Amino acid sequence: MPRAGLSRDAVTDLAVELVDSSPDGFAGLTLAAVAARAGVAVPSLYKHIGSLADLRRSVALVAVTELLRRSSATTVGRAGEDALRALGREIRAFAAEHPGLYEATQVAPAFDESGQDDPASLALAQAAVDTVDVVGAVLRGFGLPDARTVDAVRVTRAAIHGFVELEAHGGFGMPDDVGRSFEALLDVLVSGLVTLARA
Amino acid sequence: MPRAGLSRDAVTDLAVELVDSSPDGFAGLTLAAVAARAGVAVPSLYKHIGSLADLRRSVALVAVTELLRRSSATTVGRAGEDALRALGREIRAFAAEHPGLYEATQVAPAFDESGQDDPASLALAQAAVDTVDVVGAVLRGFGLPDARTVDAVRVTRAAIHGFVELEAHGGFGMPDDVGRSFEALLDVLVSGLVTLARA
DNA sequence: GCCCCTATGCTAATGTGATTAGCTACTTTT
DNA sequence: AAAAGTAGCTAATCACATTAGCATAGGGGC
């Protein structure tokens, strides 16, 4: 029996491909499906990953890392309203191109109450924090009072995430152009944040 | 063997209770768990429901119907900004009191491409439309041009849903008061929609 | 009050998926 | 070339959904 030459990264890569090509998205991530792609029996995967939950977190780390990369890339050299609009569009584009990965972006790290958190979960938590920090940096240009910054970051994340989620799950039944509605969301966000900064 | 006296509604009610009390929320809805609560063997449930997916949609119908009821109740007699704030707070409160049901609210009706949609799915779709219509009615008070109404409804739904989702899934890591951030979301929404109406 | 019929419950069996245990053989190290 | 570790395998177990087929409870008709 020849070896398949797998590794943790190789398995994760297969899982990432699967998640974005499966009609079930992130929920379609099963060990059976990954093993089939790898040309290997299901239990063989356990030589490289600890469990399905572990693999899910690996995929989540890839997802958050990529979202962070794109978020950073699109906002460097921009400020204020310009940066916020670019960030919003980039997140929406990421979700459109990688629906499974976008879902994975919401996976929580494993909290081990014994304090023995695994490194992958720590990395995932850190990447998530970094991604939120990008939003904070983008909002610096709005001149919000320090006491309101956390609120503004939450509002921004909520608005963009909510839109992308509803869009991805077919939550918009009307035939009207969704891209236009997203621009309206950005308009509302920009003018609302400007008002919030004045309060 | 005495009969358990089940019915479609009784099974759905048990499922509704389960979904809100299970730590796994809507994902914790399994036939095994429902059967245990009913004091019945798992296959017995099939006398009352068609499948797990069918039961999920039944729960979703209960959830959307209740959300619709509360949304309507809290907005009657209010208008404009007042109505929008009340609606937002009510949806957030519903999600806090019934996390499982709030999740269920996002379940899509079954689309049978043969055109043979079952009545439960039609009812679910109708209830969902009615719920979105409440948002539309609330926004009437903002004097938006007709061409912008759909955008505004989408923006409003996205913002509120996104916030509630992130909050429910522990997406807000900072220790700052989340209720205050939600009020900020409503502030941003109100001032943003007013601006949108002027554009 | 008795019989029949249907609805509601059951057990048994199948399929999918995750996980663990234990075996074997490839590949690298010494 | 032997030793050692690693990466694959099969077999078995567990949870859950689903289907098939059986038994009976309990109400409607006589």
The pLDDT tens digits of the residues spanning B55-71 come to 999 999 999 999 999 99
Whether residue A82 is predicted with pLDDT greater than 70 in this model: the reply is: yes
Asked if residue A88 lies in contact with residue A184, where contact means CB atoms within 8 angstroms, the answer is no
Structural domains in chain B?
8-198 (1.10.357.10)
Whether residue B2 is predicted with pLDDT greater than 90 in this model: the reply is: no
Span B86-125, pLDDT tens digits? 999 999 999 999 999 999 999 999 876 665 567 788 999 9
A169 close contact with B: CB closer than 8 A: yes
d(CA B64, CA A41): 43
B189 and A192: CB-CB below 8 Å? yes
B6 CA vs D29 C1’ separation (Å)? 26
In the block, residue with structure tokens 């509605």:
A181
Question: What is the model's pLDDT at position B3?
Answer: 75
Select the residue of A152, A162, A174 nearest B165 (Cβ to Cβ).
Answer: A162
pLDDT band (50, 70, 90) for residue A5: confident
A117 CA vs D30 C1’ separation (Å)? 74
Mean pLDDT of chain B: 95
Stretch A95-99: mean pLDDT, rounded? 98
Give the single-character DSSP code of A107: P
B166 and A148: CB-CB below 8 Å? no
Question: What is the model's pLDDT at position B94?
Answer: 98
B60 close contact with A: CB closer than 8 A: no
Considering only residues 41-60 of chain A, list those whose CB is below 7 Å from strand D.
Answer: 41, 43-44, 47-48
Three-class secondary structure assignment of chain A: CCCCCCCHHHHHHHHHHHHHHCCCHHHHCCHHHHHHHHCCCHHHHHHCCCCHHHHHHHHHHHHHHHHHHHHHHHHCCCCHHHHHHHHHHHHHHHHHHCHHHHHHCCCCCCCCCCCCCCHHHHHHHHHHHHHHHHHHHHHHHHCCCHHHHHHHHHHHHHHHHHHHHHHHCCCCCCCCCHHHHHHHHHHHHHHHHHHHHHC
Whether residue B176 is predicted with pLDDT greater than 80 in this model: the reply is: yes
pLDDT band (50, 70, 90) for residue A113: low
Question: What is the model's pLDDT at position B37?
Answer: 97
Q: What is the largest CA-CA distance in chain B?
A: 70
d(CA A26, CA A24): 6
Whether residue A9 is predicted with pLDDT greater than 90 in this model: the reply is: yes
Stretch A12-24: mean pLDDT, rounded? 97
d(CA B175, CA A163): 25
Mean pLDDT of chain A: 95
Question: What is the model's pLDDT at position A41?
Answer: 98
Q: For residue B170, how many other CB atoms are within 10 A of its CB?
A: 9
- A102: amino acid identity, one letter: Y
Residue B51 Cβ < 7 Å to strand D: yes
* DSSP SS3 for B135: helix
Whether residue B173 is predicted with pLDDT greater than 90 in this model: the reply is: yes
d(CA B20, CA A21): 32
d(CA A162, CA A157): 8
A112 close contact with B: CB closer than 8 A: no
Span A138-151, pLDDT tens digits? 999 999 999 999 99
d(CA B74, CA B68): 10
d(CA A140, CA A131): 15
Question: What is the model's pLDDT at position A116?
Answer: 59
Whether residue A115 is predicted with pLDDT greater than 80 in this model: the reply is: no
A184 and B161: CB-CB below 8 Å? no
Whether residue A1 is predicted with pLDDT greater than 90 in this model: the reply is: no
Residue B53 Cβ < 7 Å to strand D: yes
d(CA B82, CA B74): 10
Q: For residue B132, how many other CB atoms are within 10 A of its CB?
A: 21
pLDDT band (50, 70, 90) for residue A117: low
Question: What is the model's pLDDT at position A114?
Answer: 62
d(CA A35, CA B135): 46
A122 close contact with B: CB closer than 8 A: no
Whether residue B149 is predicted with pLDDT greater than 80 in this model: the reply is: yes
Span B15-59, pLDDT tens digits? 999 999 999 999 999 999 999 999 999 999 999 999 999 999 999
Asked if residue A173 lies in contact with residue B153, where contact means CB atoms within 8 angstroms, the answer is no
Question: What is the model's pLDDT at position A3?
Answer: 75
More reliable by pLDDT, A68 or A199 = A68
Whether residue A4 is predicted with pLDDT greater than 80 in this model: the reply is: no
Question: What is the model's pLDDT at position B166?
Answer: 98
The answer to whether the Cα torsion of B27, A22, A102, A81 is positive or negative is negative
CA distance A27 to chain B (A): 11
Asked if residue B139 lies in contact with residue B87, where contact means CB atoms within 8 angstroms, the answer is no
Q: Could you tell me the CA-to-CA distances from A72 to A86, A109, A141, B43 in Å, in that order?
A: 10, 22, 15, 52
Question: What is the model's pLDDT at position B141?
Answer: 94
Select the residue of B132, B160, B191 nearest A192 (Cβ to Cβ).
Answer: B191
Question: What is the model's pLDDT at position A119?
Answer: 79
Residue B31 Cβ < 7 Å to strand D: yes
Stretch A95-121: mean pLDDT, rounded? 86
